[in-house]
Amino acid sequence: MCGIAGVVQPGGGDPATGPPALRDAVERMTRALLHRGPDGEGLFADPAGGAALGHRRLAILDLSPAGAQPMSTPDGALTVTYNGEIYNHRELAAELAARGARFRTRTDTEVLLQAYAAWGDACLDRLNGMFAFALWDRARRRLVAARDRFGVKPFHYHVADGRLTFASEIKALFECPWVPRRPHERTVRAYLAHGWIDREDDTFFSDIRRLPPGHRLTWEEGRVRVERWWTLARPELDPRRLSTPAEDAAAAARFGELFTDAVRLRLLSDVPVGASLSGGLDSSAVAITSARLRAAPGGSAAPDARPLAAFTAAFPDPGISEEPYLGAALAAAGAVSHVVRPEGRELLELLPRLVRHHEEPFVSTSVFAQWRVAELARAQGVPVLLDGQGADEVFAGYSDYAGPALLYRLAAGQWGRFAADAAGVRATWGGSRLGVLRRTLREVLPAEVRARMGRSGPLPAWYVGPRVLPAPETNPLGGALSRALYRAVGRTSLPGLLRYADRSSMAFGVETRLPFLDYRLVEWAFGLPNDQKLRGPWAKFVVREGLRGVLPEAVRTRTRKLGFVTPEARWLRSDLAPLVRDLAASRSLAERGPVDPAAAAAEFGAFCAGVPCDTQEIWRWVNYELWCRAWWPA
């Protein structure tokens, strides 16, 4: 896990002295990423080719100097700067060695170089991991960059006059005088109006783009081409069909095999590995499985046999506390617990740094809890954390997926099963019978009507501007539930959550690994029938069945879904209230345009007086103003 940066431009020239001085620019970019890689810095320049690559190292595998980057093949033909982990690098190294490849290190970086040398762009299909890299092919004067299937690791870039400038984080791009710093109006308005983030390749900054998940970028003599290298297109079984008990048992067993192997691969490390643990189903599954594998003879490459270190953010608020479940998960894992209790006054103090470090606005204060967990892990000397992110988007863990799943019960005339599942939805997520029926029938409306309805309902009263419609999307899957999950994985949910996790963890040089996003597990899950994901009150049904005997029953059978939440309402009414009022009264908020300060102040005043309100709606305009101040200070 590291930070990468670089520039390539047409016409060659000397990167050390030519205009612009690419070497100096890449050095500045690399230093701006110090937090991502505290263990070393590297720079590569090809004067004849007009290319310069930079790297900040977070040493996880092969801690020796031999693992430094940018790394080149012995003949200097290929050079790579790479961020991430290729979890199957040992298997790939054995395959490449059988073809005659020789290795000087134990790093996955060298495996990536040799894989590209052997298979070219097709090597991507063989990689199981999270990654963003840029590889310079000196002979062809060609740069190829790629991002992993789900976009766990970031890659941002700017193109102008044939010059490509790229980096792990946007702040590094701004070290180059030719990269503009302007807000992207449509993205800003989509965030304010609807809370949309990371849905497209545009960022909140004009002329700066993100390479989409599962895509490859190639640059040759000033020409840039972006194309998809991976598509999630598993065939779906007939969604109306009900699974038999034998099929349920087979699916549970297969989940256990795939999930256990995904965790096993993510334990490979030359530094201590811990786990984020909330007490929820997903994080408990990761932590307990990790602990079991570490304890098994030859079960992992953990650097020592100490108990698993588990890191938790906890709050005293009864409505969001998961501590009753946390104790059961800790006992089952035999883990050592490290708990941090974030407070509103700490958030108030940290907000300017937090907003600037995250670079783009976020939709709630939950990122602060992630931030504190990563800070605690680094303080305890644990630079790698396994996390349960992704399970909800893959196995239908949110209430949004109830409608698409229930629709097929109606279409198939399965009235009894519809009634039972609808009752389960109400028991798990609340709502009335009519509300569940409306949620179900919404799925039969035309796509343009659903888009206009929006998940976020009417526009906020303080928003000044038009409703922003989502860009058209290509969805290769057929069933309503699979389409909804496909959107969540690639567009509406997971991309933003992965950005939060990356920025918060890498702020402290902590690598986050996500077993539920092992591509083998995801592709298999998308081939499951609906009722192995949602059944009665049970979201993630196959996960629960596959973890029977692994998780404590109190955790495995809990139905109430909290998500990664903070006491946002309490903080807004107390520690953050003076700041919010000052922002609403500020001249700068009024002059920026998209927010009506009087309406925003009125909404906040009513909220503080006890009127029910979506706190994320308040947070959006607060975060927007703080974001503007961070990047365009007066």
Q: Is residue 171 part of a domain?
A: yes
Contact criterion met (CB below 8 Å) for 49 and 203: no
- In total, how many domains does the chain have? 2
Q: Is residue 419 part of a domain?
A: no
Say how far apart CA 106 and CA 278 lie, in whole Å. 34
Residues sharing a CB contact under 8 Å with residue 446, sequence separation 6 or more, in sequence order: none
Q: Is residue 120 part of a domain?
A: yes
The enclosing domain of 100 has a CATH number of: 3.60.20.10
Closest CA relative to residue 624, chosen from 363, 370, 350, 368: 363
Q: What is the pLDDT of residues 503-515, one digit of tens each?
A: 999 999 999 999 9
Contact criterion met (CB below 8 Å) for 174 and 248: no
Span of 117-121, 231-235, 402-406, 615-619 with lowest mean pLDDT = 231-235
Q: Report which residue type is found at 114.
A: Q
Average pLDDT over residues 79-88: 97
Query: CA of 13: how far to CAs of 21, 43, 55, 138, 218, in Å?
Result: 10, 17, 22, 14, 20
Task: Tell me which of 202, 228, 254 is where a domain ends.
Answer: 228
Say how far apart CA 139 and CA 136 lie, in whole Å. 9
Q: What is the pLDDT of residues 281-293, one digit of tens each?
A: 999 999 999 999 9
In DSSP notation, 315-354 reads -S-TTT--HHHHHHHHHHHTPEEEEE---HHHHHHHHHHH
Residues sharing a CB contact under 8 Å with residue 487, sequence separation 6 or more, in sequence order: 473, 475, 493
Please check the confidence at residue 432 and state whether its pLDDT lies above 70: yes
Say how far apart CA 433 and CA 566 lie, in whole Å. 29
User: pTM here?
Assistant: 0.93
Q: Is residue 87 part of a domain?
A: yes
Reduced 3-state DSSP string for 407-437 = HHHHHCCCHHHHHHHHHHHHHHHCCCHHHHH
Contact criterion met (CB below 8 Å) for 290 and 273: yes
The strand pair at 309-313 and 336-340 is best described as parallel
Tokens of 503: 């920025």
Q: What is the pLDDT of residues 577-615, one digit of tens each?
A: 999 999 999 999 999 999 999 999 999 999 999 998 889
Tokens of 30: 């690399």
Residue 106's CB is within 10 A of a number of other CB atoms, namely 17
Using the Cα atoms of residue 19, residue 21, residue 22 and residue 25 in order, give the sign of their dihedral.
Answer: negative
Q: What is the pLDDT of residues 127-159, one digit of tens each?
A: 999 999 999 999 999 999 999 999 999 999 999
Using the Cα atoms of residue 73, residue 79, residue 82 and residue 87 in order, give the sign of their dihedral.
Answer: negative
Contact criterion met (CB below 8 Å) for 206 and 183: yes
Q: What is the pLDDT of residues 159-208, one digit of tens each?
A: 999 999 999 999 999 999 999 999 999 999 999 999 999 988 999 999 99
Say how far apart CA 366 and CA 319 lie, in whole Å. 15
Task: Tell me which of 228, 255, 290 is where a domain ends.
Answer: 228
Polymer length of the chain? 634
The mean pLDDT of the chain is 90
Task: Tell me which of 166, 193, 228 is where a domain ends.
Answer: 228
Closest CA relative to residue 88, chosen from 118, 64, 115, 70: 115
Query: CA of 369: how far to CAs of 77, 316, 320, 328, in Å?
Result: 44, 14, 13, 21
Q: Is residue 319 part of a domain?
A: no
Q: Is residue 600 part of a domain?
A: yes
Q: Is residue 516 part of a domain?
A: no
Q: Which pLDDT does position 468 carry in this prediction?
A: 85
Query: CA of 183: how far to CAs of 88, 160, 312, in Å?
Result: 40, 17, 35
Closest CA relative to residue 251, chosen from 535, 540, 546, 519: 546
Contact criterion met (CB below 8 Å) for 493 and 401: no
Q: Is residue 11 part of a domain?
A: yes
Say how far apart CA 325 and CA 553 lie, in whole Å. 10
Q: The domain containing residue 75 runs over which residues?
A: 2-228
Span of 98-107, 273-282, 463-472, 518-527 with lowest mean pLDDT = 463-472
